[in-house]
Structure 1
Amino acid sequence: MEQTTLKQLLEKGPVLAPCVYDCLSARITERAGFQAMCLSGGELAASYCGLPDIGLVSLQELADAVSRISASCSLPMIVDIDTGFGNELNVIHTCRKIAKAGAMAVHMEDQTFPKRCGHLQGKEVIPLEDYLGKIRAAAYALKDTDCLLIARTDAYNILGKEAAIERATASVEAGAHITLVEGTETLESIEEIGRRVPGWKMFGMASAGASPKVTYKQLVDWGYNLITVHCAQWGAIKGMEEFSRTCLETGSDIFITEMDGVDNRPIALFNMFGLQEWMELGRRFSPKINAAKEFETKS
């Protein structure tokens, strides 16, 4: 039986896709009734390698995970490829390899390498023209495949809203199928980006990070087509399958912040796997590597 592609789902309407990190979480997501899933780079780093989300996972480790998960679950998978593992030639190789492993979409960001989680401070982005060159290379690599290209920009927290909108819009013109503006800090910005950026748009619900609480319905009303949510990661604490079903029914991540006795901030997870120790080690060799700090929590 031919697998449903992410493009086919999006053509029918908005898609809610929880983040997964291994075969078990993918199968639980499928059993809960979701139509798609997203392989989270941060959660893969933690579960597969025992590392924080600072660009330490290799291309081969990512490809191995994509291959295993796609072989064990029929849901179309979105895959976080970070910065594409290098320049335009590396991006071509990366996209071909990950698409062949089973991805139905990849999202690539405009951060400098090494990157860090989009909900941590200290990010930097490459020049716009360099980013667009990598987008064009990725679009070239994915041509005539079932794998969509999601252009992610982290410029919002660094260069501001207008720069983020400019980058997202330009990436569509360069060949991206979907755009993702990461780390938006206000509901007004989220709504405006949904209105002004053309084409299909993705949003990652992470209200314990840089972004405010926002519901699936709000995002759909504002023009977003693909919404991901980090539900499986914290659902393991209270029962993954029950948690995932609740997430699907409500279309919101608001209850994640209400779990008693659980520190669900992105930085708390990364610290479990040595985030600050890695930053301190890096500073031994380069003063450009600064401490990782979280964004202030917004109500």
Structure 2
Amino acid sequence: MTKVTLRSLMEKGPVVAPTVYDCLSAKMVEEAGFEAMCLSGAEMAAAYLGLPDIGLVTQTELEDNVRRISNSSMLPMIVDIDTGFGNELNTILTCRRIAAAGAMAVHLEDQTFPKRCGHLRGKEVTPFEEYISKVRAASDALKETDCMLIARTDAYNVLGKEEAIRRANAAIDAGADCTLVEGTETLEAIEEIGHRVKGWKMFGMASAGASPKVTTKQLIDWGYQLITLHYVQWGAIDGMRKFGQECYNTKDDIFMTDNPNVDNRPIALFEMFGLHEWLRLGNKYSEKIQDASEIGKK
């Protein structure tokens, strides 16, 4: 089965893409019914390395994670490539590798290296000319691939709204398919950017971060075509904290087994990732490979 491209989805209308960080989180987004996902640099740093989002993930680690998630899910994935891991040449290599690993879009930012989360103070951005030259390099590197280029700028919190709008429009002229102005702090600024920046626009929804609470309907009305939101990791953290406290108190897992909303059978997890399909495939080649069922169950 051929994977749908992000571009083809966006050509049909606005796309909402929750953020993921591993194969299991991608499966949860797919099961929820979403059509696309975004590999969050911040969430990957936390889940993959146990580190904060301050530019510590390497290109090799990112490429490995992109390939594993892409191989396990049919959803088109946006990938946060931070600053491209260096200059224009490093950016070209990064784009080629991440696209080859299965990404359907990358977003490249104009922070200086090492970067930090877009919702933290202390950010610095590169000069305008350097940013645009890296956008051109990334755009050329992704030609002849299914991978889109999203040009992100963090200039709003550093140099102001007007410079952020200037950089976003210049990035479109330099070959970007879509833009992302990070860290906008007012509804008025979000709406103005939506109207004044040309082409497709992405908005990273983080209502508890720098940006105010804004609905998907508002964003679409203001001209945004791609919206990411962070619910998976926080949902997992909340669930693990609650279940963890209950397990600590009872010292057993019976409360989960008795919960009608939880299926904690071992086989249930395996079936999510194709247990029966894999074993039936193996049976085509060897009778020793038999399908599996639960012990004590027919």
TM-score bracket for this pair, using the shorter chain length: 0.7 to 0.9
After the TM superposition, which residues 11-50 of structure 1 pair with which residues of structure 2 at under 5 Å, given as runs?
Answer: 11-50=11-50
Once the two structures are TM-superposed, the CA of residue 78 in structure 1 deviates from its matched residue by 0.1
Q: CA deviation at 1:238?
A: 4.6
- Structure 2: where are the runs of 5+ without partners? 241-298
| Residues 15-94 of structure 1 mapped to structure 2, 5 A cutoff | 15-94=15-94
SS across alignment from 1:124: coil
Letter of the 1:123 counterpart? K
Q: Which residue of 2 aligns with 1:259?
A: none
Distance in 1, matches of 2:29 and 2:111, equals 29
Structure 1 residues without counterparts, runs of 5 or longer: 241-299
Distance 1:3 1:232 in 2: 22
Q: How many residues align?
A: 240
Aligned counterpart, 2:219: 219
Per the alignment, residue 126 of structure 1 pairs with 126
- Report the RMSD for the aligned CA atoms in angstroms: 0.9
Distance in 2 (CA, whole Å) between partners of 1:239 and 1:227 is 25
How is 1:240-251 mapped onto 2 (pairs within 5 angstroms)? none
The 2-side partners of 1:74 and 1:113 are apart by: 32
What is the CA–CA distance in structure 1 between the aligned matches of 2:17 and 2:118, rounded to whole Å? 18
Deviations 1:125-147 (A, max 9, x none): 00000000000000010001000
SS in 2 for 1:159: coil
Aligned partner letter, 1:5: T
Aligned equivalents of 2:77, 2:135: Cα separation in 1: 20
Q: Displacement, 1:233?
A: 1.2
- Give me the whole-angstrom Cα distance separating, in 1, the residues matched to 2:131 and 2:237: 38
The within-5 A match list for 1:95-244 is 95-239=95-239
Deviation at 1:239, TM superposition (A): 5.0
Structure 1: how far apart are the matches of 2:130 and 2:99? 23
CA deviation string 1:96-129 (max 9, x = no partner): 0000000000000000000000000000000000
Aligned equivalents of 1:52, 1:95: Cα separation in 2: 23
1-structure distance, mates of 2:174, 2:97: 21
Name the counterpart of 2:257.
none
Give the TM-score of the pair, scaled to structure 1.
0.79
TM-score by length of 2: 0.80
Runs of 4+ more than 2 Å apart? 237-240
Task: Return the alpha-carbon distance in structure 1 between the equivalents of residues 167 and 141 of structure 2.
Answer: 20
Separation in structure 2 between the aligned mates of residue 64 and residue 144 of structure 1, nearest angstrom: 22
**TM superposition shift of 1:236:** 1.0
Letter matched to residue 146 of structure 2: D
Give the CA deviation at 1:237: 3.6
AA of the residue aligned to 1:198: K
Deviation per CA, 1:57-91, whole angstroms, max 9, x where unpaired?
A: 00000000000000001100000000000000000
1:261-291 deviations in Å (ceiling 9; x for gaps): xxxxxxxxxxxxxxxxxxxxxxxxxxxxxxx
CA distance in 1: counterparts of 2:24 and 2:162, whole angstroms: 40
Deviation at 1:217, TM superposition (A): 0.5
The structure having more radius of gyration, on CA atoms, is: 2
Q: Which residue pairs with 1:283 in the alignment?
A: none
Q: What letter is aligned with 2:150?
A: I
Indicate the structure whose relative CO is greater, using CA pairs within 8 Å and at least 6 residues apart: 1
Question: Per-residue deviation at 1:235?
Answer: 1.2
- Report the AA paired with residue 8 of structure 2: Q
Correspondence for 2:259: none
